[in-house]
Amino acid sequence: QDYAQATQTAANVGQAMAILFGLIGIVWFNPILLFIALFVYVGAQQESQQAMYRTFTEGTPVRQAMMTRFVTLSVDDTLSDAVDELLAGTDHDFPVVENGGIVGLLRRKKLIQSLSDHDEKTPAAEVADQDFFTTEPGAPLDEVFQQMNAEDCSTVPVVDGDRLVGLLTLENVGELIMVSSALESRAPSSARNEQLSDVPLHDRPDGAPSSPGSTAVP
């Protein structure tokens, strides 16, 4: 938390300096200053986002962010079947499974590209990616998230032994962070309300009853 706050403060200072450089660049008609301002502003924003992601994912296992309801394809399913699933739901990437284990990962981009090169009756397993990394439910979310960014990977299969048990997507990680942030911002207010409920009426700043149905006694 301290790291995130310090990074956010540094990012705010960096963005303020970037705005100042930008204004000076506009007044002096200096394109170099404008370029520096843009570079500093974007860099500060990215650093702030990385700090926020690190704060809310550190110490969290993958199982808390992974999807457990998702569509899979069998080794006998075709590209036509994959298109039907793509259009019928919200899933973008489809694990190809056999006997409960994952044997391929058909991503949306690869599916669309394959439609122009292959017949619709082509087995999805033939065009699915074979080169992908997997993770486990108990793996540290922050480390897996960093690897996803490093490898530009939007979906990671989660396996327990040889069995596919979930999918981890960047979208789900983002949703977990939004939920955690909302809960954290609510916590101080909730704690204050709980503390006030234990304070006698005449000592409370708002003068409200300490519990439902209670009345003030002169």
Summarize pLDDT for 127-165 with one digit per residue, the tens. 999 989 999 999 999 899 889 888 888 999 999 998 999
- For residue 109, give the CATH number of its domain: 3.10.580.10
Number of structural domains in the chain: 2
Q: Which tokens belong to 169?
A: 């997507």
Pick the residue with more confidence: 65 or 52? 65
The CA R_g of the chain, rounded to the nearest whole Å, is 25
Euclidean distance between CA atoms 7 and 14, whole angstroms: 10
Report how far residue 12's alpha carbon sits from residue 43's, in angstroms, rounded to the nearest whole number: 11
Q: What is the pLDDT of residue 211?
A: 41
Pairing of strands 94-98, 73-74: parallel
135, 151, 171 - which closes a domain: 171
The answer to whether residue 49 is domain-embedded is: yes
In this structure, is residue 130 part of a structural domain? yes
**206 domain residue, yes or no:** no
User: Band of the pLDDT at 170, cuts 50, 70, 90?
Assistant: confident
Please indicate, yes or no, whether residues 106 and 147 belong to a single structural domain of this protein.
yes
Predicted local distance difference test score (pLDDT) of residue 20: 77
Q: What is the pLDDT of residues 14-49, one digit of tens each?
A: 667 767 777 877 887 878 877 787 777 676 565 555
Domain with 40 in it: 2-57
